[in-house]
């Protein structure tokens, strides 16, 4: 009888462990489920943070780009910014063209250089009068970029000089035409806008001429 009673008690104990709702099996299952849920939640939060940070960075980048573009356009249409840029460009084209009149051995290049000196000297004089009227102080010497170009050209001669001079004139006139066109179309000062509109056709002619010469040198 004692053996039978012990067997019954042992069976009941085993059944209790297996069937009990709060038993070890359920505890393990619950802990595993909670662990997976927490991991998924953590991954979702991480992914959401990455997306949000990425979108924020992109938005900031676009905002900075738009601000830089807006500032650049504002400098080209405001009368003081326009006049200072125009003065720098005209001064550079005169200085580099003076070099061409002495160093070039190409008659067409020399003729173009002489025309640049004459046309840009006249335009610079008119620009100086306009700047005085608007109380704008214009630069009186070449900027670093054009000083470097002048030094480079000073060390060249013959066909090598002609090619570099022509390339420099193309690049400078493309910038100048864009500057004057922007001012003529959207300038905020009537006098500066009128000056840009009047000078633009001649600048465009300079650009067309030098591009024609550049095409022959390729």
Does 182 or 29 have the greater pLDDT score?
182
* Domain end (from 45, 77, 109): 77
140 with 183, same domain?
Answer: yes
**Nearest in space to 133 (alpha carbons), one of 74, 203, 80:** 80
pLDDT digits (tens, 9 = 90+) for 110-140: 999 999 999 999 999 999 999 999 999 999 9
Q: Is 6 inside any structural domain?
A: no
How many domains are there within the chain? Answer: 2
Domain termination site, one of 16, 51, 77: 77
Instruction: Please identify, among 77, 95, 111, the residue that sits at the C-terminal boundary of a domain.
Output: 77
DSSP of 39-51, one letter per residue?
A: HHHHHHHHHHHHH
For residue 167, the enclosing domain spans: 78-217
Does 61 share its domain with 108? no
Per-residue confidence (pLDDT) for residue 218, from 0 to 100: 72
Among candidates 101, 123, 110, 106, which has minimal Cα distance to 176?
123
**Cα–Cα distance for residue pair 46/40, rounded to 1 Å:** 10
pLDDT at residue number 76: 62
pLDDT at 31: 46
Average pLDDT over residues 151-157: 96
Same domain flag for 141 and 193: yes
Q: How confident is the model over 158-175, as pLDDT tens digits?
A: 999 999 999 999 999 999
4 found inside a domain: no
**Residue at 15 is within a domain:** no
User: What percentage of the chain reaches a pLDDT higher than 90?
Assistant: 63
Both 104 and 208 in a single domain?
yes
> Are 56 and 97 members of one domain?
no
Same domain, 103 and 202: yes
Residue 38 has pLDDT above 70, yes or no: no
Q: Give yes or no: residues 90 and 193 share one domain.
A: yes
Average pLDDT over residues 187-204: 97
* Displacement of CA 206 from its chain's centroid (Å): 27
Are both 59 and 144 inside the same structural domain?
no
């Amino acid at each position: 009888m004692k053996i039978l009673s012990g067997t019954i008690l042992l069976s009941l104990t085993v059944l209790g462990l297996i069937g009990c709702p709060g038993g070890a099996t359920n505890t393990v299952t619950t802990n595993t489920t909670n662990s997976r849920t927490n991991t998924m939640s953590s991954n979702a939060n991480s992914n959401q943070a990455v997306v949000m940070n990425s979108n924020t960075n992109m938005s900031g980048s676009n905002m900075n780009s738009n601000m830089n573009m807006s500032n650049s356009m504002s400098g080209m249409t405001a009368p003081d910014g326009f006049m200072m840029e125009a003065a720098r460009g005209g001064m550079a084209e005169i200085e580099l063209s003076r070099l061409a009149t002495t160093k070039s051995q190409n008659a067409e290049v020399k003729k173009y250089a002489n025309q640049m000196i004459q046309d840009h000297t006249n335009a610079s004089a008119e620009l100086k009068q306009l700047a005085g009227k608007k109380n704008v102080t214009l630069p009186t010497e070449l900027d670093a970029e054009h000083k470097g170009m002048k030094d480079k050209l000073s060390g060249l001669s013959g066909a090598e000089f002609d090619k570099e001079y022509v390339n420099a004139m193309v690049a400078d006139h493309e910038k100048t035409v864009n500057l004057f066109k922007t001012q003529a179309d959207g300038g905020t000062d009537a006098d500066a806008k009128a000056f840009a509109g009047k000078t633009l056709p001649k600048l465009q002619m300079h650009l067309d001429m030098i591009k024609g010469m550049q095409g022959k040198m390729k």
